[in-house]
Amino acid sequence: MADPKIAYVRETMLPPQAPPGNDTGAVSWIRENLLSSWLNVILTVLSLWLVYYVVSHVAPWLLRGIWQADSLAQCRQIRDEMYGAGANVACFAVITERWNQLVFGFYPRSGYWRVILAFVLLVVAIAPVLFAALPRKMLWFSLVSPLLMFFLIWGGTIWGPIAVGLGLAAMVGAGVLVTRKRGMLLGVLVAIGVGILWFLNPFAIVWNGVGGAGNPLGFLFPIDSLITRIGDAVAPGLALPRVLSKDIGGFTLSFIIGIAGIALSLPLGILLALGRKSNMLIINTLSVAFIEVIRGVPLIVWLFTASLLLNYFMPPGTNFDLMLRVIIMVTLFSAAYIAEVVRGGLAAIPKGQYEAADALGLDYWKAMRLIILPQALKISIPGIVNTFIGLFKDTTLVVFIGMMDPVNLLGSIRANTAWNGIYWELFLFVGLMFFIVCFLMSRYSIYLEKRLRREHR
């Protein structure tokens, strides 16, 4: 029964109705986001005019592009016949005609299949690292794939990479064996010692360093070369034609430096971050000094150091490959930045996580591997990928030390009389290739963040 003091009380609910047409759909979005005030109206009109101006000039240039011609003069002749003299048309024929040079540099044409096969192996090798759904046994192939790719790209006897693989296996085996019995620190020192004895000749280095004539002690530790000679004698013919580093150029060069730098700088950066957080004075001081010195000097200076000065500090007669020197410098430079990114992730871990690891009775390395680092690396993913993107783009800086990266090749192509005068097409192509790679890395970073997100599940 209705209350007489209240004029009207609704006793039934009205059925739901659709909102007014002006408050939904595209019209509502445009009114709220583009035409909400006079300032927004002016900015919207200016933006539309700017977009129209750019598209109206660039789209015909792109869509009318000529892809088949032997020179810029022929390209212009085809343009005049199709669209009239002076038409705004791109000449992408330079990319078609110089495709192999842009991709492979001056690599022998007969060996292109080796580079392609090496990058196919690379895709197979990194697949189990990037995607956890793949079988974990594929990681064994990931471990040996760098040696196979080195053999395919640089050629030579296959026993060289096998000897290097055996040396690395000896280092890891000795380190693990000593670690189980004597602790991590002694295990690492033993592994380093085995590596020095296997890959270097410390006695010959010391002898040459003090001015001894020749290399009289070079026969004392020829483990690596001895295995190679024995392998060649037992199974000769397992070799590919050797290719020098100076013949490798184009995007092949950029990918080699970028991928090697990324693969090597991540573990080194993590170790440096742990070293900077360590309570051990010497390790902490060395880590801080390394990070500050490397990070405080521009990369181009380190590249010039690798190109010009590093050989002065090597024993006389040492021939240190320029590409290897560049990879070392790029790796060290990137590792310093990675270390700071990971240190930020370590600082974000609550103290209770460290105390929980101690309460479980885990030693330092198990606590880092099982509890601390997985959380810290998850937090650091955007910063790590950002550093990797910067590293990949910085590979173009090798142009200043004379290496034939894509940017340097553009100058060589434009210096040719057939293509003298062409600019935008080449730079657009190189920029687009770098953008695709960096964009894919960025998308994978987002995918990895979503996959590792736990707090919202």
Nearest-10 crossing angle of helices 250-277, 373-394? 140
User: For residue 128, what are its two tokens?
Assistant: 């189990």
- Structural domains of the chain, with CATH: 32-95 (no CATH), 100-107+245-455 (1.10.3720.10), 156-240 (no CATH)
- Whole-structure pTM value: 0.81
Strand partners, 156: 240
> Quick one: pLDDT at residue 31?
83
> Quick one: pLDDT at residue 238?
78
Reduce the secondary structure of 101-136 to three states and give it as a string.
Answer: HHHHECCCHHHHHHHHHHHHHHHHHHHHHHCCCCCC
> Quick one: pLDDT at residue 335?
92
- The angle formed by the CA atoms of residues 179, 184 and 188, to the nearest 5 degrees, is 90
> Quick one: pLDDT at residue 434?
92
For CA atoms 342, 343, 344, 347, give the dihedral sign: positive
235-268: b (≥16 Cβ within 10 Å) or e: eeeeeeeebebeebbbbbbbbbbbbbbbebbbeb
> Quick one: pLDDT at residue 219?
46
List, for the chain, all residue ranges whose pLDDT scores fall below the cut of 70: 1-6, 201-222, 311-319, 454-457
Q: How far apart are CA 84 and CA 300, in angstroms?
A: 46
Phi, psi of 91 (to 5 degrees): -115, 80
Q: What is the pLDDT of residues 176-204, one digit of tens each?
A: 888 777 777 777 788 888 887 777 766 55
Cα-only R_g, the chain: 30
User: For residue 324, what are its two tokens?
Assistant: 């290897």
- List of residues 6+ apart from 238 with CB closer than 8 A: 157, 158, 159, 231, 232
User: For residue 341, what are its two tokens?
Assistant: 């990114």
Closest CA to 433 of 276, 294, 252: 252
